[in-house]
Structure formats: structure tokens, C-alpha cells
Amino acid sequence: MRPDILNPLFAPATGLPGIGAKTADLLERLLPLPDGVEPRVIDLLLLPPSGFIDRRNRPTISGAVPGSLATIEITVDKHQPAPRNSRAPYRVLCHDETGSLTLVFFHARDDYIQRALPVGETRYVSGTVEAWGDMLQMVHPDRIVDAEGLAKLPPVEPIYPLTAGLKRATVVRAVEAALEQLPELPEWQSRGVMDKMQWPAFGEALSRLHNPHVPEDAAAEGLAWRRIAYDELLAGQLALMMVRRKTLKTAGVARVGTGEKVQQILGALPFGLTGAQERSFAEIGDDLAGTERMVRLLQGDVGSGKTVVALLAMAQVAEAGQQSALMAPTEILARQHFATLSAFAGAAGLRVALLTGKDKQSERRAVREGLANGEIDIAVGTHALFQQDVAFNALGLVVVDEQHRFGVHQRLALSAKGDRPDFLVMSATPIPRTLLLTLYGDMDVSRLDEKPPGRQPIATRALPDDRIDDVIAAIGRAIEAGNRVYWVCPLVAESEQVDAAAAEERFASLSQVFPGKVALVHGRQDQNAKQAALSGFQSGETPVLVATTVVEVGVDVPEATVMVIEHAERFGLAQLHQLRGRVGRSDRASSCLLLYKPPLGETARARLEVMRETEDGFRIAEEDLKLRGGGDVLGTRQSGMPGFRLAQPSIHLDMLEMARDDARLIMETDPDLTGERGDALRALLYLFDRDHAVRLLASG
């Protein structure tokens, strides 16, 4: 089905030079790949640079600004090798007519340095210039070349977001090779748009992005990136409209309840619904009972009570004699939902089952049978729920808990498991209105904008990391009082391995202070170890839980009252907000301690400030969008729009309207994508992993 011309781009990335299984593994962590997909050639092409190195700054030595990247012409004067058995570096003294510069090498091979920098010769060194006392130095120049080499030096080089263990040179080489695989592709953008925007062709745009001649080429604001971002936005809008037209505009099934089971559950809840929950369930209940198919987003902060609302919806579906499925992005979260639902479903005689990828054969068989013969009313699970061998007797409602994944386009296409089931998507991310459309198309929205009663505000403080002893004292008091404490460890390198190491270290040091009271959970543990750590925390046996960001995803422990976030300056606002939402889930007073390493950058300071000021998720989301602005060009960019690779909220949203109009026009003129441009658009949908929409075309 995929146009043959695209095959080289969908070959595994391991076929590229320098990419072995291990590197592919690292890439997989770096890339936002669809479930079960290994890195492919296209993924490298669509890997956005996180910035660029501009080697065109060519000052004299005296004109070089400490802290900046410079390429300097020098004459080599003298080598000062490191004395044996000393930790001193190898130094090379150099000069030009304006001053002197010392090149500094730690643990480098002497013969390499001597060959690269012969005494008396002229060389060009490129790297970051630093002041060292009143001397100027360059530690480990990234480039040392002669005049000939200088002519070949790329003026601007892209840098990529790297996970630990992944070298820039490896990525550069692989991207280079990937570019060679790029076939001549038909233009899918309309002539009108191309003329108006003056964009380069897709291939040309990719090549400029990865081989920039001027910084603009590798910048999100530049023409090359904008073109690809627009391609991505168009693919997204088009896919949403195609899915909507093919599966959702179809008539639905009226799932009218008797009210009996819903009442039983309401009666069993140890609390009354909030106004927002009542309103949301009323909206959902009407949709379910109506003959049009429901496609609704239930938005609400962590702890706002979404799961309970979903359960009521499921109860209504059960009253109508049908089944419901709840799909969660991770196994931990699936288990959590299973526990919450099971606690109250029994009151209405509803049977709940859990299905994940890791169940025993026999368990799995039993669940499959129960689903097929209708004995099970509610299935909770990961995407294992939608595997081939799972059949439902009468699936009437699919609930997808998105957390931060945003695979909604894909999930919506999964209607085959039931008879035109209704769809409810739950999202804990307070998505600003401007982004809703991009991510969800024109879905209906219910908002839980009210916290359950009795919840106290979370006292939030930002502290420099030299106050860690105060924090540890506060933890002591909290566990003394019978409360629980989360300690979230820094996101070091977007690499689970490195993050896990940091967490292990913190676990060890806290265990010394609170022996036997600390548990550890991180992404590298197996399922049993994770589960054991969480159970110990839940039961209170180990009231302190040291974790990497895995706890971000849905752990509900009402006794938890303290959230410590280490290196808070490294987290994005949305993430900080989600993490903080893990406490303040009961009527006990809670606090959130944001430990940071000074000095704080401007954006990081602003983020922590917002956290101290407000707990309102929607406000935080708006601020987040503002703060992410294009400014941070040389630093690592914060990841852009969820579900998108190159399109970034604050930079490319101006083109969203245009993409929507364009997609509408396509749907009006060639909805089945049959014409010449239709073919090109199919290629576009594949390139951005929106091919589920193309598959719907074929299924008619």
C-alpha cells in the first residue's frame, strides 16, 4: 500500500552506516515513534536539529569574546605536554598578531596533538573561547584544521538533541546517509501555496535543515523548517479530517441506560460528584444515548476525577448491554485504572478485567474468553487490548487515557473491534484552545475544571540545592506524621539509563538517613520490581519513593503530601505541573519543593515563578506556550507539540489555519486522494506516520 518510492525511507535505520542495534536503541528513546516501530531512515531525516554551531565567527584573539564560539587563525608556538602521572592538561601555546591563546587538552593522546599542531605552523581552531585568569584559552577545540581544511569546514553545523551515549558525529553521519536515500518526491503542496510562501521543495528543505549554509537554514523560523512544519501540520489536519469522515461521521448506536447501575455506583462512592463531574457525565451520557457517534475529549488535571466519570459512562454502556474498554499508555497506569475501577464497579455488579502485554498465557486466555462471550463488562489495558486476537462480544465504548502520548489519531481509527463504538479520550494535559484543534481536530470537549472538595492548596517553594538538608529534615517530619513523600530525580539526559543511575544514587543517600523507609522506581526496572516499589509506597511500608519521571504517569496515593523535585530547572512547566499533581490528593496539607541548581536561567526562573503562583493547569499551559517561544536557539529546545516532530507551537501555529483550509479544500475536491496531487498527498501522510488515514481509504 505504501508507495514503492518511499521504501528506502522506511527501511530500518540500522541499515545506515554507524547505526548498530545499540545506537538504534538510543535513537528509539530520542524519537517520538509510534508504538512498536523501530527507528527508520525517515526518522533521522525528520529529526529536528536542536540548534546549530556557527563557525563563521572569525575574530582575532584579542577580539574573541569569552564564552562564545569562535574560529581563530593561530600560529603554534610551544607544546607543554602534561607531566607524567599528573592531572594537569596538555597545553599548546599559540598566538596571532593581537595576543596569545592557550589550547588545553585533558587525557588526549600526545602524538595526536603534536601531529595536529606542528610548532611554527598556521592552523585554524574552532571551539568555545574561555577566560582563564587573564589568559584566553580554548579547551578541546572541536576543529583543528589547516587552510585547506578551513575551506571545507561547514560554516554552520546542526546540533541534535542527544541522549547519553549517542555521539553527534554518529547522528551527523547517519543523517547524511539518510539524505542520500531520499528519492525525488512529487510536490504535494499546491502551486498557490508554494508560490506564495517561496518554499523550497521537501527534499531541498530537508537538505538545508541538516546541511545549513546560514543559521536560518537550521532554525525553526527559517523557510526550510517552516516548510516541513507546514507539511506536518497539513498531514495532521488531513488525517484528522479523513478519519472523521470515514469512521466518525457514520451514524452511531444509541446506548441508552436504565440508570440502575449508574445509581448503584454513585451510591457506592465515598464522596459526591463535583459540579464539573456531574456536568461532564451528563454530556457524555447524552452523547452515548444519542444516535450520532460520540467523539469527546474529557480534559482535567490529574486528580480532577476523570476515571470516576469514565466509570459512570461505562456503567451506562453496560446498562445498554455492551462492553467498554479503557486503554492506558503504560502498564503502571493500566494497573492503576484497574484498581480504581474495580473498587467501585463491583457495587453495580460490573466485571472488570486487566489485559496487558505481560500477562501469563493462561490469564490472557481467560480474559480473551470473557471478552468474547460478554462475561467481562470492562476491559482495562495497554495497547495489547487492540491486538488481533482480542475480540469483544459487543464493544460499545472505547476510552483512551492519553496522558502525554497523543496517539489519538491512531486510536480513533481502531473502530473495528466493536459496532461503531463511542469514543472518549481522557487527557490530563490542560491543552490550550489554540492547540486543541491541532491535536484533536473538532472533537467535543468536556472539562473538569474543579477539584474535588476538601483539597488544600499545595504550598510550592523553590529552593537552591544547597538547602537540601532542610528538605531532608522536612521529609523526616512528614513521614513522622504518617505521610508519604515523592522524590523525583533529575532528567539528566533524556536517557533512562542515566536517569536511573541518578535515582539510584539518591536512593542510596536517602536510605542512609531513613533506613528501610525508602523505595526506588525507575524505567529500567522490570515490572515486578516496579510494582513492588509502588506497593511498598502505597501501603506505607516505605513512605519515601525515589523515582525518575515514571511516576509522572498516574500514581494515585492520597497519603502522599510532599513532592520533592530535584533539578527542577530542567523540567518543563507541563511536567512540573503533572508531577506536583501527585500530591494534594486528600484533605491533608501538601507541599511541593522545587530544588534547583543556581544560577537559574531566565526561562527556568520564570517557570518556577509560575509554579509558585498558580495551580491552575490551564493557566500553566498558556504560560508554557508563551515561555517556549523561539528564543532558546542555541540551547536545547524544549520538545515541541506532542505528537509532532518539527511543528512547534509558538513558532508555527500561525500556519495552522492555512493547513486546515488547505485540508478542507482537499477533502472537498478529492476526498479519496485519487488524482495526481492525491498520490503525492498519500506519500505525505506516510512520511509523517499518518498512514492510518490512508488505510481507511482502502477499507472503504
Min dist CB 306 to ligand ADP, Å, is 3
Q: From ligand ADP, Mg ion, none, which one binds at residue 273 (CB under 5 to 8 Å depending on kind)?
A: ligand ADP
Min dist CB 333 to ligand ADP, Å, is 10
Place of cell 463531574: 277
Min dist CB 333 to Mg ion, Å, is 8
In this complex, which beta carbon is closest to ligand ADP, that of residue 236 or of residue 305?
305
Report how far apart, in Å, the C-alpha atoms of 323 and of each of 241, 260, 272, 372 are. Answer: 27, 16, 25, 10
Q: From ligand ADP, Mg ion, none, which one binds at residue 452 (CB under 5 to 8 Å depending on kind)?
A: ligand ADP
CA 109 – CA 215 distance, rounded (Å): 33
Q: Running DSSP on this structure, what letter comes out for residue 374? A: T
**Rg of the chain, C-alpha, whole Å:** 28
What is the SS3 string spanning 341-356?
HHHHHHHHCCCEEEEC
In this complex, which beta carbon is closest to ligand ADP, that of residue 228 or of residue 302?
302
In this complex, which beta carbon is closest to ligand ADP, that of residue 240 or of residue 328?
328
What is the SS3 string spanning 668-693?
HHCCCCCCHHHHHHHHHHHHCCCHHH
In this complex, which beta carbon is closest to ligand ADP, that of residue 428 or of residue 651?
428
Give me the sign of the Cα torsion angle 168, 206, 407, 405. Answer: positive
Residue 617 touches ligand ADP, criterion: CB under 6 A = no
Residue 305 touches ligand ADP, criterion: CB under 6 A = yes
Across 345-368, b (16+ Cβ under 10 Å) vs e yields bebbebbbbbbbeebeeeebeebb
Residue 303 touches ligand ADP, criterion: CB under 6 A = yes
Residue 234 touches ligand ADP, criterion: CB under 6 A = no
In this complex, which beta carbon is closest to Mg ion, that of residue 307 or of residue 648?
307
Min dist CB 269 to ligand ADP, Å, is 7
Min dist CB 276 to Mg ion, Å, is 15
Place of cell 486543541: 436
In this complex, which beta carbon is closest to ligand ADP, that of residue 30 or of residue 333?
333
Q: From Mg ion, ligand ADP, none, which one binds at residue 584 (CB under 5 to 8 Å depending on kind)?
A: none
Report how far apart, in Å, the C-alpha atoms of 226 and of each of 302, 320, 328, 507, 651 are. Answer: 34, 49, 33, 44, 9
CA 432 – CA 649 distance, rounded (Å): 10
Find, among 481, 469, 450, 462, the residue nearest to 616 by Cα: 450
Sites for ligand ADP among residues 310-349 (CB under 6 A): 340
Min dist CB 303 to ligand ADP, Å, is 5
CA 664 – CA 628 distance, rounded (Å): 29
Span of 245-253, 258-266, 295-303, 476-484 interacting with ligand ADP by CB under 6 A: 295-303
CA 480 – CA 470 distance, rounded (Å): 15
Angle, to 10 degrees, between the axis of helix 573-580 and the axis of helix 602-613? 30
| 564, β-bridge pairs | 487, 593
Among 104, 174, 262, 308, binds ligand ADP (CB under 6 A): 308
314 grid coordinates:
461505562
Span of 96-104, 268-276, 677-685, 689-697 interacting with ligand ADP by CB under 6 A: 268-276
Min dist CB 562 to ligand ADP, Å, is 18
Asked if 94 and 56 touch (Cβ cutoff 8 Å), the reply is: no
Span of 205-213, 298-306, 456-464, 542-550 interacting with ligand ADP by CB under 6 A: 298-306
Q: What are phi and psi of 553, to 5 degrees?
A: -85, 100
CA 19 – CA 5 distance, rounded (Å): 23
Q: Running DSSP on this structure, what letter comes out for residue 148? A: H
Min dist CB 337 to ligand ADP, Å, is 8
How many residues bind ligand ADP, per CB under 6 A?
17
Min dist CB 308 to Mg ion, Å, is 8
Residue 452 touches ligand ADP, criterion: CB under 6 A = yes
Span of 4-12, 84-92, 301-309, 348-356 interacting with ligand ADP by CB under 6 A: 301-309
In this complex, which beta carbon is closest to ligand ADP, that of residue 338 or of residue 392?
338
| 72, β-bridge pairs | 125
Span of 307-315, 360-368, 407-415, 681-689 interacting with Mg ion by CB under 5 A: 307-315
Residue 274 touches ligand ADP, criterion: CB under 6 A = yes
Residue 271 touches ligand ADP, criterion: CB under 6 A = yes
Q: From Mg ion, ligand ADP, none, which one binds at residue 300 (CB under 5 to 8 Å depending on kind)?
A: ligand ADP
Min dist CB 273 to ligand ADP, Å, is 5
In this complex, which beta carbon is closest to Mg ion, that of residue 311 or of residue 510?
311
In this complex, which beta carbon is closest to Mg ion, that of residue 102 or of residue 307?
307
In this complex, which beta carbon is closest to ligand ADP, that of residue 538 or of residue 638?
538
Min dist CB 106 to ligand ADP, Å, is 49
Cis bond upstream, residue 32 (ω within 30): no
What are the DSSP calls for 574-619, one per residue? Answer: HHHHHHHTTS--SSS-EEEEEEE-SSPPHHHHHHHHHHHH---HHH
Among 273, 366, 600, 658, binds ligand ADP (CB under 6 A): 273
CA 653 – CA 675 distance, rounded (Å): 29
Residue 306 touches ligand ADP, criterion: CB under 6 A = yes
Q: From ligand ADP, Mg ion, none, which one binds at residue 277 (CB under 5 to 8 Å depending on kind)?
A: ligand ADP
In this complex, which beta carbon is closest to Mg ion, that of residue 307 or of residue 548?
307
How many residues bind Mg ion, per CB under 5 A?
1
Find, among 314, 302, 571, the residue nearest to 458 by Cα: 302
Q: Kindly report the number of other CB atoms within 10 A of residue 470's CB atom.
A: 12
Q: From ligand ADP, Mg ion, none, which one binds at residue 305 (CB under 5 to 8 Å depending on kind)?
A: ligand ADP
Residue 556 touches ligand ADP, criterion: CB under 6 A = yes
E-state strands within 390-529: 395-401, 422-427, 444-448, 458-464, 484-488, 518-521
What is the SS3 string spanning 174-205?
HHHHHHHCCCCCCCCCCHHHHHHHCCCCHHHH
Min dist CB 342 to ligand ADP, Å, is 12
Q: What are phi and psi of 167, to 5 degrees?
A: -90, 145
Among 307, 330, 429, 591, binds Mg ion (CB under 5 A): 307
Min dist CB 441 to ligand ADP, Å, is 23
Q: Residue 334: which H helix or E strand, with range?
A: helix 331-345
- Per-residue x/- marks for Mg ion, 239-278, CB under 5 A? ----------------------------------------
Q: From Mg ion, ligand ADP, none, which one binds at residue 302 (CB under 5 to 8 Å depending on kind)?
A: ligand ADP
Span of 221-229, 306-314, 415-423, 594-602 interacting with Mg ion by CB under 5 A: 306-314
Asked if 71 and 111 touch (Cβ cutoff 8 Å), the reply is: no
Span of 29-37, 187-195, 302-310, 524-532 interacting with ligand ADP by CB under 6 A: 302-310
Interaction site with ligand ADP (CB under 6 A): 271, 273-274, 277, 300, 302-308, 340, 452, 556, 558, 585
Interaction site with Mg ion (CB under 5 A): 307
